[in-house]
């Protein structure tokens, strides 16, 4: 019986963890990936297409204001700043036209890259507020992750207890 309960608790914990992982993947597929592609774009037109896809996702999912933090706010978790920064970059890209010089276009692409990417020792990453894939329900998902972790540990404990008890 302990073995069965342990396995069921582990399965329940895996459902919570898997759901959070899927939310991360969905965000990357529908927004984060397009921001990265916009940063990597070699032409203004390509950057605009990729950036518009990301902005469309932000608009559809109301990622326009607030903070991703639960207990206290820090500037790196400001969704409003992030959204404004991305949309203003798109506006600046649209301001370029056929009369813009190659130098202006190249400078704009470099500026866009600097805006969209964070440069770290281990490489570049897309600038995103921490926990944006779970926003606006970060507190709920935090609780789900805690409960899932506890259920996992209890499940492992039940299995170990069953194995030791059977000897």
Task: Identify the pLDDT of residue 140.
Answer: 92
Task: Identify the pLDDT of residue 167.
Answer: 66
Task: Enter the pTM of the model.
Answer: 0.85
- Spatial CB neighbours of 93, under 8 Å, sequence gap ≥ 6: 44, 47, 48, 51, 108, 112
| Interatomic CA distance for residues 118 and 75, integer angstroms | 15
Whether the Cβ atoms of residue 35 and residue 54 lie closer than 8 Å to each other: yes
- Spatial CB neighbours of 80, under 8 Å, sequence gap ≥ 6: 64, 65, 66
User: Which residue numbers in the chain have pLDDT < 50?
Assistant: none
Chain centre distance of CA 54: 12
Task: Identify the pLDDT of residue 101.
Answer: 92
Task: Identify the pLDDT of residue 166.
Answer: 77
């Amino acid at each position: 019986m302990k073995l069965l309960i342990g396995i069921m608790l582990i399965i329940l914990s895996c459902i919570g963890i898997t759901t959070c992982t899927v939310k991360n993947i969905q965000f990357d597929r529908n927004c984060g990936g397009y921001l990265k592609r916009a940063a990597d774009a070699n032409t203004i037109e390509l950057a605009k297409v990729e950036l518009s896809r990301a902005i469309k996702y932000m608009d559809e999912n109301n990622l326009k204001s607030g903070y991703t933090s639960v207990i206290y706010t820090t500037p790196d978790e400001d969704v409003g700043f992030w959204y404004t920064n991305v949309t203003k970059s798109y506006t600046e890209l649209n301001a370029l036209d056929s009369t813009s010089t190659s130098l202006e276009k190249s400078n704009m692409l470099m500026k866009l890259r600097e805006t969209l990417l964070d440069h770290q020792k281990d490489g570049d990453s897309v600038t995103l507020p921490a926990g944006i894939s779970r926003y606006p329900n970060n507190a709920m998902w935090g609780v789900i992750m805690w409960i899932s972790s506890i259920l996992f540990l209890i499940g492992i404990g039940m299995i170990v207890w069953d194995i030791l008890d059977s000897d």
